[in-house]
Amino acid sequence: MTVTDTRVRSRTSVALPPGGVESESHPWKIRLVEHPKRFESSFFRAAKKAVHEILRPMSDEELPYGPRPPGEHPWEMHHGGSLWVKGPSGWLMFRARVGIEWSMQFCAEPAKVERLRREAAELVAAFPLTLPALRQLGYEEAEDLLRKPIEDADGVEAWTDSLFNACVPMSRGNHQGILPDVPGEHHYPWPVKGADFVRFDDFQLWVTLPDGTHGAVAPVDRRGSGDGHVRLTFVPEGSAAAQTLARAQDLGLMAVLPPNSSAARQAFSRQIAPGSRTASGPLVEHRRRRGTQRRG
């Protein structure tokens, strides 16, 4: 079912009487100020050094989030809950239940971070090759971090900047980028952004909507079905489609765009014949251009 009603009232809105006037009695402003100079803690420097040693021998196919960015030190380390372990086939990275962004450590309750430590310790214990391998890389802190209970702000800081939280390796775009270039995890919801790392290369997850805003869409059926409808999964709040999507979610329905919509044709542009006016139809696999490799 396609939802098209855009006349949605916020749950917190109040109906106005005829002739009533709505106004803002508390105007607000946002100031843009420079960051205080941010220093890299000894915990973070040690963690980054270790993870660069882990990443160096990996092939692009083994890396957690897309191919290796260019440059000598291309990675940005995202504080996203990076649980690195070593198994029989090599290094693996799992994501913690919660990642603590650097600035969020100042509102993090030690007892709640302690739970993250215990969960990480249990995971690492299941991979007995991990701690000896980290010691070999020079990351002597690992065992103490996993063993010592977190009881105060010092413990929270050490965990926040550790290998077990601060070292999700991402390109700058996948970390902090915004559309129309590359959607970064800091700006787009992870349930949607995560699809960038598992989608077919010839499916365009992020599309430009008619009002010029950028949203994300997903197919409504499996590859090759011929169904060109797409489900709208994310739009920014300023988009004309935002209220429609919110309405659909409130009702437990999907917001679906037809196969002849510009969004559907963008999404399937590399799976349909060039110039097609509909995204429905048989799958057309376009030959990948030599030298290109794009994953998100």
CA–CA gap between residue 151 and residue 170 (Å, rounded) = 30
Whether 183 and 98 share a structural domain? no
Q: Is residue 242 part of a domain?
A: yes
Among residues 147, 161, 63, the alpha carbon closest in space to that of 105 is found at 161
Spell out the residues 6+ positions from residue 225 whose beta carbon is closer than 8 angstroms to its own: 219
Q: Is residue 134 part of a domain?
A: yes
Whether 194 and 252 share a structural domain? yes
Q: Is residue 56 part of a domain?
A: yes
- Whether 5 has a pLDDT exceeding 80, the answer reads no
Structural domain including 98 reads 42-63+76-169
Whether 163 and 208 share a structural domain? no
Whether 176 and 154 share a structural domain? no
- Nearest 5°: the CA angle 205, 208, 209 is 115
- 115-146 pLDDT, tens digit per residue, is 999 999 999 999 999 999 999 999 999 999 99
Whether 50 and 139 share a structural domain? yes
What percentage of the chain carries pLDDT values higher than 70?
A: 84
CA–CA gap between residue 123 and residue 100 (Å, rounded) = 18
Global confidence as pTM? 0.78
- 266-288 pLDDT, tens digit per residue, is 999 999 999 999 999 999 988 76
Tokens 């489900």 belong to residue: 231
Q: Which amino acid is at 180?
A: P
Q: Is residue 212 part of a domain?
A: yes
Q: Is residue 96 part of a domain?
A: yes
**Mean pLDDT, all residues of the chain:** 87
